[in-house]
């Protein structure tokens, strides 16, 4: 099928706290009719069923003198509420010496039309807010589809090497058939 892909990011600083929150993506770099990002930029609705790779990431730009650790992950709503997608947690940090971290994650998901994806985050170490670097929150999604239709048949290749074969008709009629007895004579026959 046709490829579908989109890319979103957040232009401003965003604060992540000890309360779980949904990460926003306020700018579309590339969009596609297969997806709809809601007005707050927090939920991505799938409009075309299929298998998709979801990539997300973030870097911090913190100024506090405290150690802070944050995690982010993918949640999927298939119609009965959001649930965390296993194996999608990514962790990053800011430490008291001003060293910054960042991280990214991905998931490959088989989704139906109307399913909704969001990226969640929370400070899990320390009590301060972890501020993101402007333009560092990012979300990409792209199809992981089946092979397309086969192309046209190419031209025939050169004849292979082999031995000569002689077909001889012995002129003897095979009973109850219109065929004669054929002998195949040649090397390797």
Question: What are the tens digits of pLDDT across the range 109-120?
Answer: 999 999 999 999
Tens digits of residue pLDDT in 58-69:
998 887 888 899
Spatial distance between the Cα atoms of 188 and 104, rounded to a whole number of angstroms: 62
Residue scoring higher pLDDT (44 or 162): 44
Mean pLDDT, the chain, integer: 87
pLDDT of residue 55: 97
Q: Residue 149 and residue 73: Cα distance in Å, rounded?
A: 36
Under 8 Å between Cβ of 35 and 113: no
d(CA 51, CA 34): 12
What integer pLDDT is reported at residue 179 of this predicted model? 62
Is 140 in contact with 117 (CB distance < 8 Å)?
Answer: no
Confidence check: pLDDT of 188 > 60: no
């Amino acid at each position: 099928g046709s490829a579908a892909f989109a890319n979103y990011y957040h232009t401003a600083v965003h604060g992540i706290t000890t309360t779980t929150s949904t990460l926003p993506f306020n700018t579309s770099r590339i969009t596609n009719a297969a997806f709809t990002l809601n007005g707050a930029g927090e939920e991505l609705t799938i409009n075309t069923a299929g298998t998709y790779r979801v990539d997300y990431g973030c870097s911090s730009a913190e100024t506090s003198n405290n150690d802070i650790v944050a995690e982010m992950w993918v949640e999927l709503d298939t119609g009965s509420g959001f649930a965390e997608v296993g194996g999608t947690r990514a962790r990053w940090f800011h430490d008291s010496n001003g060293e910054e971290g960042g991280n990214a994650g991905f998931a490959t998901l088989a989704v139906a039309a109307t399913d909704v994806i969001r990226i969640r985050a929370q400070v899990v170490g320390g009590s301060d807010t972890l501020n993101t670097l402007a333009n560092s929150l990012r979300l990409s999604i792209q199809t992981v589809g089946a092979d397309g239709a086969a192309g046209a048949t190419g031209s025939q290749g050169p004849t292979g090497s082999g031995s000569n074969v002689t077909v001889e008709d012995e002129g003897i009629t095979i009973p109850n058939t219109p065929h004669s007895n054929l002998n195949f004579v040649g090397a390797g026959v």
